[in-house]
Structure 1
Amino acid sequence: MAIRIKDIANVAGVSPATVSMVLNNRPGVGDSTRQNILDIARSMNYDSERSANLTRHRDETIRFLHISRHGHVVNNEHEIFIANYIDGLSREARKLRLNLEIFTIQLGSIEEIVKAAQDQRSGGTIVLGTELSAQEIRCFQPIDTPIVFIDNYDEVAGFNFVDMNNKESVFMAVEHFVNKGHREIGIVASYVTTPNFAMRATAFKEALAYHGLPYVKDFCFMVDSTFPGVYKDMIETLPTRKKLPTALFCSNDIIAFGCIKALKEKGIRVPEDVSIIGFDNLPTSAMLDPALTTIEVSKRQIGKLAVRILNECIKSPGPLPAAKVLVSGELVERFSVRDLNQS
Structure 2
Amino acid sequence: MSKNEINSTEVARLAGVSRSTVSRVINNYSNVPQKTKEKVMKAIKELNYFPNASAQMLAGKKSRTIGLFMVSSGEISVDVLTNMMIVSVIESASDLNYYVLTFIIRNTEDEASINHVREAFYQRRIDAGIFIGTKHKEPFVEELIAEGFVVGVFDQEHPDVAVPNRIVANFNNDSGMKQAIAYLLGLGHRHIGLINGDRSRLSGLKKHEGFHHAMKQQGLDIHPGWVLDGDFTEQAGYDAMSKLLGSDEPLPTALVAANDSVAFGAIRAMREQGLKVPEHMSIIGFDDHVLSEKQDPPLTTVRVDFKQLFKELMQVVVKQVEEPTDTIREIKYDCTLIIRESCRRLD
Same-fold call, TM cutoff 0.5: yes
What's 1:66 paired with? 69
Distance 2:244 2:198 in 1: 14
What displacement does 1:236 show?
3.1
What displacement does 1:62 show?
3.0
Which secondary structure does the structure 2 equivalent of 1:223 belong to? coil
Trace 1:63-212 onto structure 2 (pairs within 5 A): 63-71=66-74, 75-78=76-79, 80-96=80-96, 98-107=97-106, 109=110, 110-128=114-132, 130-136=133-139, 137-156=141-160, 158=162, 159-190=166-197, 193-212=200-219
| Count of residue pairs brought into register by the alignment | 296
1:134–1:154 Cα contact (<8 Å) kept: no
Q: CA RMSD in A?
A: 3.1
2:235–2:262 Cα contact (<8 Å) kept: no
Which secondary structure does the structure 2 equivalent of 1:242 belong to? coil
Trace 1:263-278 onto structure 2 (pairs within 5 A): 263-278=270-285
Structure ID, larger Rg:
2
1:177-231 per-residue CA deviation (whole Å, 9 max, x = no partner) reads 1222211111011467422112111111111111121222022122354333432
Report whether the alignment pairs 1:326 with 2:322. no
- Opposite residue 102 of structure 2, the aligned amino acid is F
Trace 1:236-275 onto structure 2 (pairs within 5 A): 236-275=243-282
Which secondary structure does the structure 2 equivalent of 1:139 belong to? helix
Distance 1:75 1:87 in 2: 12
- Opposite residue 190 of structure 2, the aligned amino acid is R
- Opposite residue 337 of structure 2, the aligned amino acid is L
Distance 1:60 1:191 in 2: 35
What's 2:314 paired with? 307
Structure 2: give runs of 5+ residues left out of the alignment: 1-6, 9-19, 29-50
1:69–1:132 Cα contact (<8 Å) kept: no
Structure 1: give runs of 5+ residues left out of the alignment: 1-22, 25-43
Distance 1:59 1:117 in 2: 12
Which secondary structure does the structure 2 equivalent of 1:126 belong to? strand
What's 1:32 paired with? none
What displacement does 1:267 show?
3.2
Which secondary structure does the structure 2 equivalent of 1:59 belong to? coil
Runs of 4+ with deviation above 4 angstroms = 48-53, 55-58
What's 2:293 paired with? 286
- Opposite residue 160 of structure 2, the aligned amino acid is V
TM-score between the two structures when normalised by the length of structure 2:
0.75
CA shift in 2, pair 1:138/1:45, >3 Å: farther
What displacement does 1:167 show?
1.3
Indicate the structure whose relative CO is greater, using CA pairs within 8 Å and at least 6 residues apart. 1
What's 1:228 paired with? 235
What's 1:336 paired with? 342
2:66–2:130 Cα contact (<8 Å) kept: yes
CA shift in 2, pair 1:229/1:168, >3 Å: closer
